[in-house]
Structure 1
Amino acid sequence: MTKPLIEISGLYKIFGPKPASVIDKVKSGQSKDQILAETGHTVGLKDINLKINKGEIFVIMGLSGSGKSTMIRHFNRLIDPTMGQILVEGIDVMKLSTSELEQFRRHKMSMVFQRFGLLPHRTVIDNVAYGLEIQGIKKEDRLIKANEWLDTVGLTGYGNQYPAQLSGGQQQRVGLARALATDAEILLMDEAFSALDPLIRSEMQDQLIDLQEKLHKTIIFITHDLDEALRLGDQIAILKDGELVQQGTPDEILLHPADDYVEAFVKDVNRARALTVETVMKPPAYRITATTIEEALVEMKRVKQDYAYHVTDDGFQGVLTRESLLDAAKDSATQTFDKEIYEEVPVISPDSVIEHVLPDTMSCDYSLPVVDDEGNLQGELERSAVAEIFSDESADSTAEKASKKPPIMDKAS
């Protein structure tokens, strides 16, 4: 099994004059409010244990005061923990000397801030090249590299402008290009898109997804927005009052919330927009592997429904019905399969979002075959399975409407 890139164990952060003096109170289970009232100390993080794998987008989310921004500042030791261990590629970050920590921040991690963090007196190109300048890269080389990243984020030709001349979305693209230009393996993004208008925010999310498909960075992304977390995250960790209440894939968070707190987050999410076909598909009920019409009819007799999926060594071929096989068998001149024998049924990808395949699912008389990029049949998407997504959502909404209100998400943390 591949070892995680980042491991956090037993992490505590207490803010106050004597944080070590209240650790025992925190460990005994006293609440954040109790400790603040009795000691004047604030619990920032409590017993956080996380493993983050190389090349994944790991989203940390929660309400204001949940500890998510405190958490991200521990990764590069902008904040030192009261207790606990942070390992990056097996290196204990807490044991780094001042000079080692400086090199670690310059080469291992880059950060993208909520309010862009650009230098207003520098041109766009010089802002992008700033991290390379800190690394000691020669001016000619760093400008070449900075221009390449400007091209990558869609800002070709903007290099000589100043941040004030750009829109908010453009400024955040500059911030993203600056973070990527250093070739740091780990990208820290603290509410990076929350200051943007909804349309620009969606475009930036699209761009991050596209970039990640090419770059395979390890991205730690802080957000207060569950829709953003579900869209971007390979893994999601939800914090409440400094504690980790649930960690899992977007599907696990959405379909199996750990407690009422998480359930309140997810109950109003559009599940069809958040879930993929792979989440709700089932193994194909019936396959036919025959190479002739006669053999296919023999196999079809064992099938309890009137259609099946034809699969050969070359992968998925199409949907065969009992009727089409009987008609083909009447023609003694041919025993081979041609295109006309197959039903016109849409083929869908396991990665497709349910919302995108909903019209085909509802209008087709057959369960849709789910086929991967290599042509292999992975499963089938039944109309009833899709309907359950909406029925569960409706039932949850009806049961909870009178008693629960979703958390109001805001920007600070």
Structure 2
Amino acid sequence: MRRGQSFAEAVANEGLAAPLDAVDLTVERGEIHVIMGLSGSGKSTLVRCINGLIAPTDGRVMVAGACVSSATPAALRELRQRHMSMVFQSFALLPHLSVTANVEFGLMLRGDETKQRRRRAAEVLDMVGLADWGERRVDELSGGMKQRIGLARALATDPDILIMDEPFSALDPLIRRSLQDELLRLQKELQKTIVFVTHDFGEALRIGSRILIMKAGRPVQTGTAAELFCDPCDEYVRAFTAHADFMHVITAGTLCRVIPEAADPPAADGARQAPRVDEDATLAQVLCAAHGADRIAVRRDGAPPRVLGTSHVLRHIGALYAERQES
């Protein structure tokens, strides 16, 4: 870039690529919103814009009505110390300190008293299953335990928002799955707003309320795992979802949307006699519940149960399988 030239001018005149372009993202309170894409797609840049580590050259980042992208340094410190925390792929722990001291670090930076810090550190270490490890040095621990400490440190300040940048990608598959389960357990209890970065669609569909797929700095499609799987907007999204296990992606609620009501069996006594599942039950759970029955009832919030014929469910599964085989 030439002196005095804006980034937008450099992109237009010199053929530079914008790391992010035309991103319009809304994250709802209490959801896990996954951002995924290949390396270089802009995932990490986007989350660093959200927490103010990178200032966008255009546009705004709003958090609870406040503009992060124009905040003063003091306001950014307040945001990071009290309202938003980050969990890194590389753990970013202080190896010469104890587990407790690492967990206390953010509390110390914002000036909490020692007794209060120790009490809070003990609470969050118990949350992540490391209650007896407070006096150990972190360089004595395994990768999975270090990431639990990173999560405990992020939770210690009781933030409203957690930013998690590929936190489990460096871990072995079994440890990774265990930490995904741990995150889901904690989320059920704490109901934080979480922005989670990954390049793994399997991980995204396990934990994400909604998923944003990015390519070359631009958003491609946002939706639930089932929406991305059943209705990909282009071949790029289709390629991401092609190898997903649709038995655990498609839900009973999805079936209610794609199977026409005209195909439903007669309503007489159907809802009372049929096995019942919730809207978020996976296709695998639906089939288990419907085993030996000719219909199944899907519970829906604020609406009567929808009764689906088992034959129509099986026909839809067959069509999905055939479509995936062709692609």
TM over 0.5: yes
Q: 1:285 to 1:59 in 2, by over 3 A?
A: closer
Alignment of 1:309 onto 2:237: no
Q: 1:193 corresponds to which letter in structure 2?
A: F
Residues 20 and 82 in structure 1, CA contact (< 8 A), matched pair in contact too: no
Alignment of 1:322-337 (within 5 A): none
* Structure 1 residue identity aligned to 2:163: L
Q: CA deviation at 1:353?
A: 1.8
2:117 maps to what in 1? 142
1:325-404 pair list within 5 angstroms = 346-361=275-290, 363-371=291-299, 377-400=304-327
Aligned to 1:407: none
Do the aligned residues in 1 keep the contact of 2:275 with 2:295 (CA within 8 Å)? no
Among candidates 78, 84, 92, match of residue 103 of structure 1: 78
Deviations 1:118-152 (A, max 9, x none): 11011111111111111111111111110010111
Matched length: 325
Structure 2 distance, partners of 1:144, 1:52, is 31
Higher helix share goes to which structure?
Answer: 2
Match of 1:13 in 2: none
Q: Which runs of 5+ in 1 are unaligned?
A: 1-15, 27-34, 287-302, 311-317, 320-344, 401-413
Q: How far off is 1:398 after superposition?
A: 3.2
- CA–CA distance in structure 1, aligned partners of residues 215 and 265 of structure 2: 50
Is 1:268 equivalent to 2:211 in the alignment?
A: no
Residues of 2 paired with 1:101 and 1:388: CA distance?
Answer: 54
Amino acid aligned to 2:296: L
The residue number in structure 2 matching 1:323 is: none
User: How much does 1:394 deviate?
Assistant: 2.9
CA distance in 1, matches of 2:98, 2:206: 33
Encode CA deviations 1:278-324: one digit per residue, 9 max, x unaligned: 221379979xxxxxxxxxxxxxxxx97596236xxxxxxx31xxxxx
> Relative to 1, partners in 2 of residues 1:173 and 1:22: Cα closer, same or farther, differing over 3 Å?
closer
Query: Post-superposition shift, 1:388?
Result: 4.3
Q: 1:197–1:380: structure 2 CA closer, same or farther, 3 Å change rule?
A: farther
SS, match of residue 69 in structure 1: helix
Aligned residues with identical type, % of pairs: 41
Residue 131 to residue 245, structure 1, CA distance change in 2 (3 Å):
same
Whole-Å Cα distance in 1 between the matches of residues 54 and 249 of structure 2? 34
The verdict on how the C-alpha distance between 1:304 and 1:113 changes in structure 2, with shifts beyond 3 A counting, is closer
Aligned residue among 113, 120, 137 for 2:95? 120
Structure 2, unaligned stretches of length 5 or more?
none
